[in-house]
Each structure stands twice: as structure tokens, then as C-alpha cells.
């Protein structure tokens, strides 16, 4: 099995978390989709030059939700898809919310401009942070309602909803404004704290501070 990804990509980390939860070993190829060399590596592997891509048994899968579905069905222990119809629907709903409404404001606006680019010593746009925070509010509110209801993201076992959501929340709270905002959503904040202490999440956390040391002052 081989994963093609980019170290600081939340979508790559989602797959790494599922692989870790299932105790699967794999080869890893680093391809930065934001750099020309990475785009060249992705050419012919992903039609939209994105990561991650999973190669296994002579075929490849891209689109993170599809990769996770495959992993959970092909390697059933521990199960990450809940059995009950409503719990399963809520899990899919979380993944849809995150992909369609969450990724951009949480990661590409608040995390990128509020934490990552400043860490790299690159110019960040404060307006992006402010716009991202505003756009994050309805996303966090929708996820909080699901967490309070509790079929997923509540007190129960880890599911694919956690794999998909927690990497984005963990990035979001790196920005001080993100940390302040999430405290208004206590069930979600509690789920983040519970999950981020678990092995699959600890094991896959990218070493952002190491990146800072590479940047000359």
C-alpha cells in the first residue's frame, strides 16, 4: 500500500489517521501539490493535482472520503463506520459539512493566514482571517448540534467523522482567534480535546514547529 501526500495537508492526514487507527503499514511518497515538482509527481495520478492518492493492489483511489470508505470496508478492525442508520447519516453529514463548507474558512483562511504563513515568515492577509472566522461560525454551529445530539462526535467511539473533522479543527485552533472561537462550541471543543490525545492523532500530527526552525530570522 502506498500513500501519496503532502506533509502539511489536512486531507493527507485524514488518511494517515485512518491507516494508523487500523494498524496498517504503508509506503509514503511526499508530493507538494502547491509546488511544480509535486504537481509533476501528481500528473497522471490525480486529474486535479491534489493529494491524497492511495495506491493498493494494482489500483488507485483519490478523494479522501472514498479512500476512507475503502479502508474501512477492506480492513474492518476497528470499525470506523457506525452501524445505526442515523449515526451513519450523521457521519456522512459531518464529512459533507467539512468538505463543502469547512475546509476553506477553517484551514485555508484562518489557519493559513492566522498561523501557517506567519510561521513561515510569509505575508499573511488579516482580511482572510476575519472573513474565515465569520464563515466558520455557521460551520461550527452545525457541527456542535451534531456533537450535542451525540450519534457521532459525542462521547462514543472514534468514527470516520472524527478522522475527517479533527485535523481541520486542530489546524483551526493553532490560530489564537480560532482557539477563542471554538470555546463557544463546548461539545465540539471537548471532542477535539478527547480525540487529539489519541494515538492515531498524536502519531500523525505534523511537526509545524520544526518548519519554523528552518526559516531564518
Binding residues for ligand GSH, rule: CB under 6 A, are 6, 9-11, 33, 50-51, 63-64
Find the angle CA(172)-CA(202)-CA(7) to the nearest 5 degrees.
65
Q: In 3-state terms, what secondary structure has residue 5?
A: strand
Q: How far is the CB of 49 from ligand GSH (least distance, A)?
A: 6
Q: How far is the CB of 184 from ligand GSH (least distance, A)?
A: 26
Q: How far is the CB of 74 from ligand GSH (least distance, A)?
A: 18
Output 63 or 128, the one with its CB closest to ligand GSH.
63
CB 65 within 8 A of CB 40: no
Output 131 or 154, the one with its CB closest to ligand GSH.
131
Q: How far is the CB of 159 from ligand GSH (least distance, A)?
A: 17
3-state SS string for 60-119: EEECHHHHHHHHHHHCCCCCCCCCCHHHHHHHHHHHHHHHHHHHHHHHHHHHHHHHHHHH
Q: Which residue has the cell 495520478?
A: 45
Of 80, 78, 86, nearest to 67 by C-alpha is 80
Output 3 or 195, the one with its CB closest to ligand GSH.
3
Output 19 or 51, the one with its CB closest to ligand GSH.
51
Residues 4, 41, 123, 105: is their CA dihedral positive or negative?
negative
Of 7, 15, 20, 64, nearest to 200 by C-alpha is 20
Output 64 or 136, the one with its CB closest to ligand GSH.
64
Q: How far is the CB of 160 from ligand GSH (least distance, A)?
A: 12
Q: How far is the CB of 186 from ligand GSH (least distance, A)?
A: 28
Output 11 or 172, the one with its CB closest to ligand GSH.
11
Amino acid at each position: 500500500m502506498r500513500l501519496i501526500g503532502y506533509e502539511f495537508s489536512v486531507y493527507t492526514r485524514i488518511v494517515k489517521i485512518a491507516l494508523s487507527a487500523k494498524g496498517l503499514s504503508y509506503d509514503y511518497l511526499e508530493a507538494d501539490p502547491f509546488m511544480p515538482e509535486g504537481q509533476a509527481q501528481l500528473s497522471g495520478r490525480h486529474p486535479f493535482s491534489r493529494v491524497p492518492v492511495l495506491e493498493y493492489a494494482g489500483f488507485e483511489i483519490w478523494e479522501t472520503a472514498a479512500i476512507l470508505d475503502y479502508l474501512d470496508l477492506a480492513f474492518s478492525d476497528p470499525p470506523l463506520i457506525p452501524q445505526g442508520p442515523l449515526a451513519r447519516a450523521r457521519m456522512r453529514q459531518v464529512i459533507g459539512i467539512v468538505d463543502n463548507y469547512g475546509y476553506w474558512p477553517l484551514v485555508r483562511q484562518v489557519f493559513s493566514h492566522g498561523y501557517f504563513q506567519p510561521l513561515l515568515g510569509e505575508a499573511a492577509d488579516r482580511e482572510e482571517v476575519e472573513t474565515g472566522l465569520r464563515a466558520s461560525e455557521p460551520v461550527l454551529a452545525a457541527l456542535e448540534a451534531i456533537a450535542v445530539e451525540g450519534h457521532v462526535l459525542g462521547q462514543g467511539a472514534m468514527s470516520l467523522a472524527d478522522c475527517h473533522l479533527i485535523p481541520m479543527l486542530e489546524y483551526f485552533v493553532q490560530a489564537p482567534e480560532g482557539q477563542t472561537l471554538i470555546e463557544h462550541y463546548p461539545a465540539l471543543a471537548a471532542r477535539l480535546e478527547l480525540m487529539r490525545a489519541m494515538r492515531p492523532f498524536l502519531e500523525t500530527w505534523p511537526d509545524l514547529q520544526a518548519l519554523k526552525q528552518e526559516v531564518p530570522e
